[in-house]
């Protein structure tokens, strides 16, 4: 049995005003709508939440608001921390821990790839500092080392509060290795590899499109729970086609995850949600939003909630 329950994990991107200050009420409303849609695993400050970009002041503002909106509920609320060294990461973990969080998402320091000795030291120094907390490893190529199931198998007996991973790449082979060789961890996979992982054993869904279409997101997750291969493949292809069509609409330029995540929040939940990214990265524009909205209303109306269509 995995150390962390199966579920759907949803990111809550950060809204910035024209001075790049937090729009607190929009963040609160975003979190409320994610919870109202039935999602019970949510987080701030992955790549889509610009965890790599925020300064300490903005980090603390978002953490404080996120805690106020999730405390006392049955939600597993997670704070992500991205940094170039263990001391940088620990500083932010300590703040979020003092606020009251006990579930964290960490990625490897990325200035240089970690060797096996450094890898164990990193998890010992971060997870070991907070034995009352649980940790998800955000496993991505930007850190210059992507871990496989065998890597995690070596960490599992050494790091008892490492409970989950977030891995969206690698296709079928990587999904199989994660589930079969590191089944003690809950593996959150994206719309592309979750169907593969589900056929090898229990895994969870990192839902990029949750704010756009809660219904389709839940349908994909349920197909994975029941290992309905035909439905998994149908939905995997449907999400792929949606992504191809949708992201062909904006003008070229934006490339960071946050640009896409904020667009999906704006399209599916909060039309007033700003698309800005912190410097130096480029976000989408209002013209891009209108182009995406036209496509959805024409070709993907069935994906949208009635409340969105009414706006």
pLDDT band, very low/low/confident/very high, at 165 (cuts 50, 70, 90) = very high
pLDDT digits (tens, 9 = 90+) for 244-296: 999 999 999 999 999 999 999 999 999 999 999 999 999 999 999 999 999 99
102 and 134 Cβ atoms separated by less than 8 Å: yes
pLDDT of residue 272: 98
Kindly tell me if the per-residue pLDDT of 306 is higher than 80. no
pLDDT of residue 30: 98
In a domain, 218, yes or no: yes
105 and 42 Cβ atoms separated by less than 8 Å: no
Residue 77 neighbours by CB under 8 Å, 6+ apart: 42, 43, 66, 67, 70, 71, 101, 103
pLDDT of residue 311: 74
In a domain, 302, yes or no: no
pLDDT band, very low/low/confident/very high, at 241 (cuts 50, 70, 90) = very high
pLDDT digits (tens, 9 = 90+) for 10-52: 999 999 999 999 999 999 999 999 999 999 999 999 999 999 9
% of the chain residues with pLDDT over 90: 96
Q: Is the Cα dihedral 121, 122, 126, 131 positive or negative?
A: negative
Rounded to 10 deg, the angle between the 229-246 and 286-299 helix axes is: 140
In a domain, 121, yes or no: yes
Kindly tell me if the per-residue pLDDT of 82 is higher than 90. yes
Length of the chain: 311
pLDDT of residue 14: 98
Copy the structure tokens of residue 198. Answer: 């589900």
Q: Which residue has the tokens 């910035």?
A: 16
In a domain, 290, yes or no: no
Could you tell me the residue range of the domain that residue 144 belongs to?
8-228
93 and 129 Cβ atoms separated by less than 8 Å: yes
Query: Three-state SS for 306?
Result: helix
| Spatial distance between the Cα atoms of 211 and 304, rounded to a whole number of angstroms | 10
We report the CATH number of the domain holding residue 45 as 3.20.20.70
pLDDT digits (tens, 9 = 90+) for 193-219: 999 999 999 999 999 999 999 999 999
> Measuring CA to CA, which residue among 7, 3, 5 is closest to residue 205?
7
In a domain, 144, yes or no: yes
The kind and range of the H/E element at 44 are: strand 41-44
Q: Are strands 162-166 and 76-81 parallel, antiparallel or unpaired?
A: unpaired
Beta strands in the chain (DSSP E): 8-11, 41-44, 76-81, 103-106, 134-138, 162-166, 186-189, 204-206
pLDDT of residue 186: 99
In a domain, 283, yes or no: no
| Spatial distance between the Cα atoms of 44 and 55, rounded to a whole number of angstroms | 14
In a domain, 239, yes or no: no
Q: How many domains does the chain have?
A: 1
Residue 34 neighbours by CB under 8 Å, 6+ apart: 10, 12, 42, 210, 211, 269
Measured from the Cβ of residue 176, the count of other Cβ atoms closer than 10 Å reads 17
pTM score, whole prediction? 0.96
- Region 93-119: mean pLDDT is 98
In a domain, 49, yes or no: yes
Per-residue b/e over 54-85, b at no fewer than 16 CB within 10 Å? beeebbebbbbbbbebbeeeebbbbbbbbbee
Copy the structure tokens of residue 67. Answer: 């805690």
């Amino acid at each position: 049995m995995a150390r962390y329950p199966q579920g759907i994990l949803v990111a809550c991107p950060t809204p910035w005003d024209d001075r790049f200050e937090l729009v607190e009420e929009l963040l609160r409303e975003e979190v409320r709508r994610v919870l109202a849609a039935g999602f019970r695993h949510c987080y701030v400050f992955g790549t889509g939440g610009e965890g790599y970009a925020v300064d300490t002041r903005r980090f603390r503002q978002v953490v404080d608001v996120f805690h106020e909106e999730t405390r006392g509920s049955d939600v597993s609320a997670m704070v992500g921390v991205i940094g170039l060294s263990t001391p940088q990461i620990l500083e932010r973990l300590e703040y979020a821990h003092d606020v009251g969080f006990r579930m964290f998402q960490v990625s490897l320091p990325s200035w240089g790839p970690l060797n096996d000795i450094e890898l164990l030291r990193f998890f010992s120094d971060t997870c070991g500092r907070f034995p009352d907390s649980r940790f998800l490893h955000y496993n991505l190529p930007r850190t210059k080392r992507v871990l496989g199931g065998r890597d995690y198998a070596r960490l599992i007996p050494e790091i008892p509060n490492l409970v989950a991973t977030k891995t969206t790449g690698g296709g079928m082979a990587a999904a199989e290795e994660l589930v079969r060789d590191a089944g003690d961890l809950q593996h959150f996979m994206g719309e592309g590899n979750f169907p593969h992982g589900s056929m090898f054993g229990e895994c969870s869904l990192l839902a990029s499109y949750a704010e756009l279409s809660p219904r389709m997101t839940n349908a994909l997750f349920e197909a994975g729970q029941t290992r309905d291969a035909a439905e998994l493949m149908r939905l995997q292809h449907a999400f792929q086609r949606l992504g191809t069509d949708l992201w062909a609409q904006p003008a070229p330029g934006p490339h960071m995850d946050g640009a896409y995540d904020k667009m999906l929040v704006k399209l599916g939940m909060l039309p007033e949600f700003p698309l800005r990214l912190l410097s130096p990265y480029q976000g989408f524009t209002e013209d891009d939003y209108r182009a995406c909205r036209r496509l959805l209303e024409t070709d993907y109306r069935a994906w949208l909630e009635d409340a969105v269509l009414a706006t």
